[in-house]
Chain A
């Protein structure tokens, strides 16, 4: 009985994790600007990671593998947003302006003042 409940729960979690991964991927292609695409990428970094890994941990039970999965999840949750932050910061400091309609690389010197 508890096995069936765990199976259904992890099925739900894994499927919704997969859906979030797909949404993040499609968003990365269809969104117009670099800064908006970061939002799409961060979906997969956090939400999908949480759902998929918790789904697998529920299936694995209380073994060494669950500990490893928990560690992987922790490191992904820690390093994913950091890399995204560093990327957005580097882009902003190089002069890529947010809120533009196109995705051309404008430097600060050529920006109309």
Chain B
């Protein structure tokens, strides 16, 4: 069964990828990238990785497409023609692809119970999660507690990306009032998208909060929740305009969320150290170690969600509020 799905989806993936590379109109390339993200999300879903599929769908097909379109609004629409060096690049990439395909012949079969990774790593996690943490979603347990250090690094990477984009696009510090140009845009004058959009925004935000707190029992967690809440605010910005969205959630709040999320995560680790355990060892946070683990995971997921939401919205506003250099 999975082979039929994989046949369809992977073939579509290859065709879409070739079409993206060959498209000269960048707008078409962005639309095809959205389809590519969706295909990847379905692929992840079929492979039973629901958390990753949710993140890919929320971030790839939603926020990333919007940010690409905002970036396209600032630059030209056609790809610059590039004539030299194509043959050499093609040969090098083909050789590398053949080497990589050859090296995958050594990989174990999909889902093979004798694969090395299923011998001691996976069974250990599967046994220790009910013992230490007592909730069903092992992915969240690994992400936030067993490998919490890596997730801390990820939050800092998101933070650094946000700061990097803000530096490049030259946003002045929030003390000065930013002159946001009031663009005359079409969607604000249409009744039907306005009504339906206003109906949907509370549901999107509510669903984002549900995903945030439900991450221990089903697919979800901080990253997905941040992306969903950012999508809700982006919908508001599309319907009402940039200026209204900046008045609803100002830049100071966004920067505060990014910084606050990263700080929250780090400070949970420091508090754990102060209370006598190791860095990011949540068992010491409460009298009962299981409840301590759950409390720690709750707080750091909140930190991750805040950081991701603030970062995505800051990047969106940094692109969308600029005037096009004509």
Contacts and interface: CB of A to CB of B under 8 A. Distances in A.
B155 to A, nearest CB: 30
Contacts of B200: 75, 78-79
A82 B186 contact: no
Contacts, number: 20
Interface residues on A, range: under 10
A86 interface: yes
A85 B196 CA distance: 11
B83 interface: no
B21 interface: no
Contacts of A79: 196, 200
A93 B186 contact: yes
A86 B193 contact: yes
A89 interface: yes
A90 B186 CA distance: 8
Interface string B197-209: 1011001000000
Nearest to B196: A82
A78 B203 CA distance: 13
Interface of A is mostly: helix
Given A78-B199, A79-B200, A85 B193 contact: yes
B323 to A, nearest CB: 22
Interface in A60-96: 75, 78-79, 82, 85-86, 89-90, 93
A86 B192 contact: yes
B190 interface: yes
A43 to B, nearest CB: 20
Interface in B174-208: 186-187, 190, 192-193, 196-197, 199-200, 203
A89 B199 contact: no
B199 A86 contact: no
B196 A78 contact: yes
A85 B191 CA distance: 11
Contacts of A85: 192-193
A78 B204 CA distance: 14
B88 to A, nearest CB: 37
Q: Which one of B187, B196, B199, B200 has the greatest number of beta carbons of chain A within 10 Å?
A: B196
Q: Which of A78, A82, A90 has most chain B Cβ within 10 Å?
A: A82
Contacts of B199: 78
Contacts of A75: 200, 203
A89 B196 contact: no
B245 to A, nearest CB: 19
Interface string B201-223: 00100000000000000000000
Given A78-B196, A82-B193, A82-B196, 12 more contacts: A75-B200, A75-B203, A78-B200, A79-B196, A79-B200, A82-B197, A85-B192, A85-B193, A86-B187, A86-B190, A86-B193, A90-B186
Interface of B: 186-187, 190, 192-193, 196-197, 199-200, 203
10 contacts: A78-B199, A79-B200, A82-B196, A82-B197, A85-B192, A85-B193, A86-B187, A86-B192, A90-B186, A93-B186
